[in-house]
Structure 1
Amino acid sequence: MSTNWQRRAATRPKAVEAAKLVLLFALTVAGVLLTRAVLPERPALWPGLLLSAVACGALHRRRSRPLQALAVALLCTMGLGAVGYLLTPGVMGPLLVAQYATSVHTPRRTTWNSALAAAAGMVGAGLFGKAFHGSLILAVVNPAAWVLLSAAFGSYIRVRREYAAARAEHAAREREEEARHRVIQERMRIARELHDVVAHHLTLADAQAATAAHLSRTHPEQAFDIIGKLPGTTAAALRELKATVGLLREDTDTADLAPAPGLRQLPELVDACSAAGLQVTVAVEGQARRLTPVLDLTAYRIIQEALTNVTKHAATRTAQVRLSYTPDHLTLTVSNDTAAESPAPARGPGGGFGLLGMRERATAVGGTFHAGRRPHGGFEVACTLPLDGHADGHPAADDDSRDHSPDESHDERHDSRHDEGPAT
């Protein structure tokens, strides 16, 4: 039932406002009649009814023009006191409502200035009125106290509303920031995927083409064999690129998309690197375990990016991949020996994001990452990924992840260029 009344009230605001004013007028008239009945000298009835009607009618503008409505109600209430009525809360009803509306819809300074003015008016009406000259409390203190109490209650409601509005605005800003953060994270994820797909396959295709061109005169059979494998490399790039970009299409059927790559594609990755002239050996230590799709993709992408860096920048043509399984972690290590160091290229503004992307992938699943020179020469990329199923996207709090400051990450990227050149 209350829901039906609320629905009707929301659809008929003018009717509800008129009903409120009529009810207030009825209560005010009741207060006037009660006061007139208990006074020794009964004041005239018609001035009391007329002033009550005018005061209630002025409340129609209490929201749009609160100060004007308060002024009219104050003058009418003072008129009731001058006529001889005792200023009780029932008689002062329109004034109290007007003071409350003023406190709700005006600033704090205006609220209390108007409240003090209305209280002073009630004091004057009590001092110079005809009713109860012998009772200072009933004639002066009581009306002023009711006015100030109404102002205080209205101020409290205004503060509550302002606080609720501020909380709603803060919550809206937080939702907007969270949405913006999610968009940025998604853009970074897509950028990493595109970088890994495009950089790896184009690097292999470039290496195969360069090797074929180099061998075309001296070993044409090997050159033709490498050229024959080149379409497979570009086709794999197109497939992965289509799968990655296809996730951005809302009307793409997921059945048409290739599954995300993982360690099961590691032999194909090794063959592709071999076609580009990089001999990769893979060693597995411990009992292999089934990885979650996220960890599987992360491990594959880190190995893929590390081998891509070796293909592009290292002087040596060999690389070693080691997968070490423990009950709680999977450790990936990609290393290469340097047979003949090439001079480190100059560090320019176009440095790549290969090491940074690998670090982001590792830390995103709660793992650790390290890349740098090996003591006996060459370069090594190592990361540890958790297998306990409790990784929640926060970096693991171990010594390796804590000890890497931004400056050391900077040095890692700089050192990598002595063996691998700029990371892709």
Structure 2
Amino acid sequence: MASTETRPAPLPTGLPGLFDPPFVADPYPTLAALRSTSPVHFDPGTGLWLVSRYADVRSVLLDPGTYLPDNAQHSVTRLPVSALRVLARAGFSLPPALANNRGAEHAGLRRLVMRFFNAERVAAAVPTVERTASEMLAALRPHYAAGDHCDLAAEYARLLPCRVMMRLLGIEGVSAATLAAWSDASLELFYGRPPAERQLHLAEQVGTFHQWLTAQVSAATAPDGLIGGLRRHRTPDGTPLDVATAVAVCFFVFIAGQSTTGQLISTTLLRAVADPEVWARVEAEDGFAKAWVEEILRREPPVTTWRRVTAHETELSGVHLPAGAQLLLMLMGTGSDPDVFDDPDRLCPHRENIRHHLAFGAGRHRCLGASLARTEAAVALRAAARALPDATLAEPKAQPPMLGLLSFRAPLQVVVRRCPGR
């Protein structure tokens, strides 16, 4: 399309880059500056166009013809030859499947996977989530009661979704810790900026993960499970789904079902236990845990950004974008957009328009596991508040270390101790 190019205004000086520790620790000043000063801003540090206003992000997500998902799972950092060789030896391949698929087969794959995450299945899974959470907290309780510090991120939030998924899908022969490590390694390799030596180590883990998934898909015999459903699935032209695409579906679903849900639980716990009144309300009030999780999703979601690429020249908020422009949708920033949410800096459970947030995206690629993630986080929070009613942060004034990948952010530690005075 013909258009007169409008160059974005420069950001105020002194704001950190997307991978810089100050941004990872507190991204809100930068997100606010982007929204107010340069809502469609080219970032030379990443080569991405940062789209930060709610209305713009939503319009991009709802226009898959102009803004393609092709780059959603591309590696942020160029992989060295040594890492590529490791992946090649493992047979690693991720053909378009879900998040990065704009083909005719996407809708059918999405419907298949959605059968395992619909409202009925999620409701049926609640006892499994509750039982798993109770078992994990019971294991922590003796150390906690003795006055020891307990890390609810590492010892609870990170592994709970993995254990639940393993029980729901009947996965055996591998530990939850191993699956979680593979999932975390995948996110760091493709969405982080690790040095070359670290990339090689991560590639080895990702390659092993992919080989394990391939073996699971190839050996699937149960007809009623997710993997069995993928093996029976037919593409629009009637041919069986190939193994590589089935593995790609599992790769995405397993990571989303583990790492990102664990990240949501970690943030939910951190923000709740930091406020004694909130922690008490979680334990005492029906429905408060769900409302708290929803506010965390609005304000501090685990998936902070997502990518799109322009199919052709277009214009967004008065800024000309060439064909092939790589966009980074600042999902986290949209939840603090004052044009949509009143008093956005304050966590306010039960706010009227809370479900309007974009933490799970929008449109045809909206997160398939949104309902399960919400449910797991609320159950995990409520179970922790009931099992540890006198918990407080071990170092309430300290900023915990944060996971700081391009599209994922969460506390790596939520260290708590007993507060006998409560």
Same-fold status (TM-score > 0.5): no
Q: Sort the TM-score into its range (normalised by shorter chain).
A: under 0.3
Q: Normalising by the residue count of structure 1, what TM-score does the alignment of the two structures yield? A: 0.24
Higher helix share: 1
Which structure has the larger Rg? 1
Relative contact order, higher structure (CA 8 A, sep 6+): 2
